[in-house]
Structure 1
Amino acid sequence: MVIVLNPEVEEKEVDKMKKKIKELGLEIHESKGKNYRLLGLIGDTSIIDPEIIEANRNVEKVIVVQEPFKKANRVFHPDDSVINIGQKTIGGKKLAIIAGPCSVESKDQILNIAKNVKKSGAGFLRGGAFKPRTSPYSFQGMKEEGLELLKYAKEKTGLPIVTELMSPNHLDKFVEEVDVIQIGARNMQNFDLLKEVGKTGKPILLKRGLSATIEEFLMSAEYILAQGNEKVILCERGIRTFENYTRNTLDLSAVPAIKKLSHLPVIVDPSHAAGLWWMVEPLSKAAIAVGADGLIIEVHNDPANAKSDGKQSITPDRFHTLMEKLKKLAQIEGKEL
């Protein structure tokens, strides 16, 4: 349930209303904008009669929220959320471009790629230190050493780093050293992990699960938001369907659907969606055209010899060409890189 208040309501009147609501055992999520003020009620709202609330002269209307996700719901937060990460943002007019290798492989590799993607206009550096792999015999990442190399690349380029957290055991280190903590597709419904990152104040990049519905995706975001962390970025990275030509099937319709339902920013991962390097460019363009707030793209200086996902990685030169094309497309969509 959402109570829409008169924007000019006096603070003492709001406090009275909040006190009564809390006495009923409900939580309150307050949202303010230039022309609105909302009180989102979380809990068993069946005990409240909307007509009694609407009788209050300071209330414009009461909206009953049907969806199970509350804090992620646009009704609770009409304005698009913009996540601040240092001097960078994800959401809003500026498109966020996150680029880098699937896995950190060496000091020279990550630094070379970081310098190249920054030169081309990327705002963030991605790189896997701890790698979830389908096969236990595949390269699992450089782990702590990989994290140190990401920090080194950040020190040399100034790019904020984005990397995946797989276990709560490393959470303290990630909170201290990582700018954006990624929760991968396989952990989208690892609810204990979601609760833990929800207790931090770090920006969280949440990837959609392999077979997750949009509602299930938003409910996972709700786990993080419910713990008090409102810095959630959603990532559509393709879902598993009957089609096996591509690695996954990129659900572009999820972008406008989520943006209609939720205020959270949505970015797209064309690399994992297709699993084919030559599809990265057209899917990136399509993602911007349907309203994505940014992209996360795998870039490798030697894809043929990459330790993971070389098949879907583009070279720094191709990334530069892509960025030049995306600048023109962004202008058409009223955005900027």
Structure 2
Amino acid sequence: MARQSRQKRVTILDVAKDAKVSFAAVSKVLRNAYGVSDALREKVNISIKKLGYTPNTAARAMRGRTFVVGVIFPDMRNPFFADILAGISSALERTQYESVQGIARHSTEPSLVQSMIDMQMDGLILVGTTATSKALSAVGQKKPTAVIGHHLPDTKSVDTVNNDDEISGRLVVRHLVEQGYRKIVMLSLDTENGTVIERREAGYRSEMEGAGLEGAIKVVRVSQSLREIQVAAKALISRQDRPDAIFCWTDFVALEVISVAQASGLNIPDDIAVVGHDNTIYCDFHQNSLTSVDQSGEQLGLQAARLLIERIEGRSKCEHFLVHPRLVARRSSLRAESVA
């Protein structure tokens, strides 16, 4: 029986012939080069879709560019990371760049970084990393790198995109004090090099001191383990001097605190108020109605992708983009008179 011939791979030359344009014109469209008209781009894209052309990543790498960027998340249990990914995808939509995601929870961040470098990806976006500034700077010297959620000192090798996390802590305490709460505890993340968490804690402490509540300052640190979050929440609400409000470092934790409190017969917010951080889509569900700090995950992702592409395209000066947060008040922290 005759061996079935392998289907011939569609090339840029095939696209050029079909679109009746030059090889160079197709190449410019694929590179999103400056000066390409909308008419030419549409003509080439029609032929690309018609022929089913896909870029040869290996060949691109040999020419010095793969048009692929790697995005590394610590895990995907936190719904906020989905917002960030949506922002990255939106920013890349009108470019020739594509993204590949890696989850550090299933491997390790250093091994994922090295794998992406070995695959000759053009750049990296690291989300929620706990690596040291020195380690991140070393990565940035190898590949263009943008970091989301890590307040680095000024460096020439890594761009950063952050929420103003100290302001976040201040906003939460200010809101709770205005609502009449005084025994405000922060349920924080137990992590090393977590400058995002450190700054939220700093904002919480500063605002508590400013409100004359320094004696009530209490920070409880737990891991992201659901079991540990539940244990910590039960311990807090079972105390004789139970706090009247808990500020959680992320919505994922805050929603679990609400579940534990309600299962123990407590009323939210009359017996205890709960505030989260990130303002994910679950906050607005009626059964949750969770007060949260909005730091716009999509904006963070969009800006990180923008900075990374600029760096890949040749920008050498380091940039640090800062998002200013806002507090979205809902039923979980609003006194009855405030809701009325």
Scaled to the shorter chain, the TM-score interval is under 0.3
Q: So what's the TM-score if we normalise by structure 1?
A: 0.27
Which structure features the higher share of helix residues? 2
Larger Rg: 2
